[in-house]
Amino acid sequence: MRIIEKLDEMQQQAESWRRQGKHVALVPTMGYLHQGHLALMKFVRPRADLVVASIFVNPTQFGPGEDLDKYPRDTSRDVKLLGDVGVDVLFIPHAEEMYPDQFQTYVEVKKVTQPLCGISRPTHFRGVTTVVSKLFHLVKPHTAIFGEKDFQQLVTIRRMVKDLNMDVEIMGHPIVREDDGLALSSRNVYLTTEQRRKALRLSQSLDAAEDLVKKGERSGNVILQRVREILAEDQDEDVRIDYAELRQPETLEQVDHVEGPTLLALAVFIGSTRLIDNRVL
Amino acid sequence: MRIIEKLDEMQQQAESWRRQGKHVALVPTMGYLHQGHLALMKFVRPRADLVVASIFVNPTQFGPGEDLDKYPRDTSRDVKLLGDVGVDVLFIPHAEEMYPDQFQTYVEVKKVTQPLCGISRPTHFRGVTTVVSKLFHLVKPHTAIFGEKDFQQLVTIRRMVKDLNMDVEIMGHPIVREDDGLALSSRNVYLTTEQRRKALRLSQSLDAAEDLVKKGERSGNVILQRVREILAEDQDEDVRIDYAELRQPETLEQVDHVEGPTLLALAVFIGSTRLIDNRVL
């Protein structure tokens, strides 16, 4: 596996691949890889001539007071894992080259970034779409793949690609979970044993909501009531619901009655760690 | 000359050219072409394998009350002119396909779009950078050329390309003028004969400023005082200065003393027609 750090080198390599008619897939990450990330790599590996993984803890998608400085990193372990799943190039740009002095350009998707995570993280998606634009221009992928755990991010990127006519196919990959249901996340490392047990309430509440819908329940209120009961069990002070909402999966408009496919999206603080999870019902 | 209207067709053609290793140049315009536009086409013609001109009167760069509806159009004349200068493809996208329902993504360059035209046209540059991004993704040019008459636009696009790592070389082309000095503009057609005579004050004031600097004057106040005197001659009610400013030509920061290359930028209403002009002193 080749490691590229310089933007020019990445872009020239990408241009050369495209001229040769090679199909390039990009898997953008912030590193500290888990099996969720690796599932994306394994999924695209047989679907592309060249697989590029990027690791970049993107400062513009962290708000003030968020965990940019303490975001977990372990590049040497990441390198080993990516080599094992057959990634061709690991692109590790540096923040100073990505955001030089006088940097002042942002890509903003307006509507779908407003609700859900957009409320508690008002500049987050602007940071995501800006850096993904940059990565697309540098790596020139035909295909890029993102996990469905960050569902709103995936919706936002699809919208950006469509609106700006980027010639990139966006693929989503189902959430990868531990055996007990916890969605994989680099931030799970922040949880104590006790908090990790409480974190299971997220997937348990999704299961419960899915059961209700399967049994014919259509009322958003009833479903969300059940979800909140499970999340807030025992009025535990260590658990705080940021949001639990039903939304249309493309426009992210609010849904009161479950008619077609409906996104149930959760963000919950367990102690000071904010976890997200979701399911399309 | 081939005319392409569909976005998909343009993008597939562009991808095919790039695979063949062809050098593609794009000249984006809003049509109603004059010799200024054609100078851009003639300039890039020998420098590219394929020259694409685009005509799109981009609604998102017009503010409320601006001249979107009455912006002059003459596509059949444009087609003739472009054929004559050897353009290969004329790309004429339609607004409904460029901005479909649910369109909600914008590219914004923050600092350099604030002063000068950004004050009276607060959403103009956001519209420009958004549509130029879209055109770049659709036409995939190696080179794109813009006239220096819209100097702030050129600075903004250069900044966007650099910040978002777009693999496009941006070229500027000197302002093309009538024999009497009036900078060519599609909006000159709005001027009455009397107004057109008054419009000459813009280039005359630029000449005067250049003379002052050549004679050793370095004070911004003195230079701008002279420019305003020429523009506002006779306290003519038909002439209103929007701005007359000295700025650093890359950052567009204000300049008080002319040391290095300095942009003198003008925007002046002649009647209800707003004209711009500039010179780097």
Tell me what ipTM this predicted complex has.
0.96
The CA distance from A75 to A72, in Å, is: 10
Distance CA B75, CA B31 (A): 7
Is residue B206 included in any domain, yes or no? yes
A126-135, B185-194, B228-237: least confident range: B228-237
- Confidence at A237, pLDDT banded by 50, 70, 90: confident
Query: What pLDDT sits at residue B35?
Result: 97
- Is B114 domain-assigned? yes
CA–CA distances in Å: residue A47 to residues A106, B163, B165: 31, 31, 26
Instruction: Give the pLDDT score at B194.
Output: 95
Tell me the chain A residues in contact with residue B133 when contact means C-beta distances shorter than 8 Å: 164
For residues A70 and A22, state if they share a domain.
yes
Question: B88: which DSSP letter?
Answer: S
Catalytic machinery residues of B: 37
CATH code: domain of residue A204: 3.30.1300.10
Parent domain of B266: 186-280
pLDDT value at residue B236: 77
B212 has a pLDDT exceeding 90: yes
Inter-chain CB proximity B134 and A106 less than 8 Å: no
Indicate whether B169 and B191 sit together in one domain. Answer: no
* Residue tagged 């353009």 (tokens): B87
The answer on A219 and A196 residing in a single domain is yes
How close B110 comes to chain A (CA, Å)? 5
The reply to whether B206 and B269 lie within a common domain is yes
Q: How many residues does chain B have?
A: 281
Task: Give me the mean pLDDT over the A165-189 stretch.
Answer: 97
CB contact under 8 A, B137 and A164: yes
Contact A124, A150 (CB under 8 A): no
Residue of B nearest to A250 (CA): B102
Write the CATH number for B63: 3.40.50.620
Nearest to B159 among A7, A15, A105 (CB): A105
The pLDDT of B137-158, averaged and rounded, is: 98
| B15: nearest CB among A163, A165, A167 | A167
Q: List residues of A whose CB lies inside 8 A of any B CB.
A: 7, 11, 15, 18-19, 21, 102-112, 129-130, 133-134, 137-138, 140, 159-160, 163-167, 251
Residues of A with catalytic roles: 37
- Same structural domain, A143 and A31: yes
Note the pLDDT of residue A233.
82
Mutation for testing the B interface, residue in A105, A138, A160 having most B CBs under 10 Å: A105
Judge: B165–A7 Cβ closer than 8 Å, yes or no.
yes
Same domain, A139 and A260: no
Q: Mean of the per-residue pLDDT values for chain B?
A: 97
Evaluate whether A122 touches A63 at the Cβ level (below 8 Å).
yes
Radius of gyration over every alpha carbon of chain B, rounded to an integer in angstroms? 19
In tens, the pLDDT along B233-252 reads 877 789 999 999 999 999 99
Instruction: Tell me: pLDDT of A178 over 90.
Output: yes
Q: Is residue A127 one of the residues assigned to a domain?
A: yes
**What are the pLDDT digits (tens) for A37-53?**
999 999 999 999 999 99
Q: Return the number of CB contacts < 8 Å for A and B.
A: 86
DSSP state of B79: H
The answer on pLDDT for A36 being more than 80 is yes
Q: CB A167 to CB B11 under 8 A?
A: yes
Other Cβ atoms within 10 Å of B93 Cβ, number: 22
Q: Do A110 and B107 touch (CB under 8 A)?
A: no
* Domain contains A178: no
A-chain residue closest to B98, CA distance = A163
pLDDT band at A235 (very low <50, low <70, confident <90, very high): confident
Last residue of a domain, one of B120, B146, B173: B173
Closest-CA residue to B122 (of B131, B133, B110, B134): B110
Contacts of A58 in chain B (CB under 8 A): none
In a domain, A179, yes or no: no
Smallest CA–CA distance from A11 into chain B, residue: B167
Residue A52 · residue A139 · CB < 8 Å: yes
Given B173, B202, B221, which residue is the final one in a domain?
Answer: B173
Residues A131, A212, single domain; the answer is no
B107: in domain: yes
Whether the pLDDT of residue A270 is over 80: the answer is yes
* A190 and A100 together in one domain: no
* Range A72-101 average pLDDT: 97
pLDDT value, residue A92: 98
Q: What is the pLDDT of residue B235?
A: 77
Q: Are A100 and A94 in contact (CB under 8 A)?
A: no
- One domain for residues B60 and B28: yes
Distance, CA of B239 to CA of B235 (rounded, Å): 8
pLDDT at A234 over 80: no
Is B255 inside any structural domain?
yes
- Averaged pLDDT for residues A258-270: 97
- Chain A: closest CA distance from residue B194 (Å): 42
**pTM of the predicted model as reported, rounded to 2 decimal places:** 0.97
Give the model's pLDDT for residue B233.
82
Residues in contact with A81: Cβ distance below 8 Å, sequence separation at least 6, in sequence order: A33, A38
- Give tens-digit pLDDT for A12-25: 999 999 999 999 99
What's the CA gap between B70 and B54, in Å, rounded? 19
Q: Are residues A196 and A124 in the same domain?
A: no
pLDDT, chain A, mean: 97
Last residue of a domain, one of A149, A173, A197: A173
Do residues B144 and B238 touch, judged by C-beta distance below 8 A? Answer: no
What chain B residue is nearest to A166 in terms of C-alpha separation?
B137
Substitution target in A12, A104, A111, A160 with the highest count of B β-carbons within 10 Å is A104
What are B48-85's pLDDT values in tens digits? 999 999 999 999 999 999 999 999 999 999 999 999 99
In chain B, the number of structural domains is 2
Q: What's residue A47's pLDDT?
A: 97
Instruction: Mark whether A142 and A52 lie in a shared domain.
Output: yes
Q: Considering only residues B45 and A236, tell me which one the structure prediction assigns the higher pLDDT.
A: B45
User: Is residue B103 assigned to a domain?
Assistant: yes
Q: What percent of chain A has pLDDT over 70?
A: 100
**Residue in chain B nearest A110 by alpha carbon:** B104
Q: Give the residue on B whose Cα is nearest the Cα of A98.
A: B163
Two structure tokens written together for B209: 């400023």
Q: What residues of B are in contact with residue A133 (Cβ under 8 Å)?
A: 164
Q: Which of A11, A160, A166 sits opposite B167 (nearest CB)?
A: A11
Residues of chain B found within 8 Å of residue A15, distances taken between Cβ atoms: 167
Which among B139, B145, B167 has a CA at the least distance from the CA of B6?
A: B139
Residues B39 and B141 in one domain: yes
- Which residue out of B165, B169, B248, B251 would a mutagenesis test of the A interface target, given it has the greatest number of A Cβ atoms within 10 Å? B165
CB–CB of A106 and B107 under 8 A?
yes
The beta-carbon neighbor of B105 closest among A105, A107, A138 is A107
- Contact flag B18-A18 (C-beta cutoff 8 Å): yes
Nearest one of B280, B199, B208 to B240, comparing CA atoms:
B199
Name the band, by pLDDT with cuts 50, 70 and 90, for residue A236.
confident
CA nearest B277: which of B269, B267, A132, A206? B267
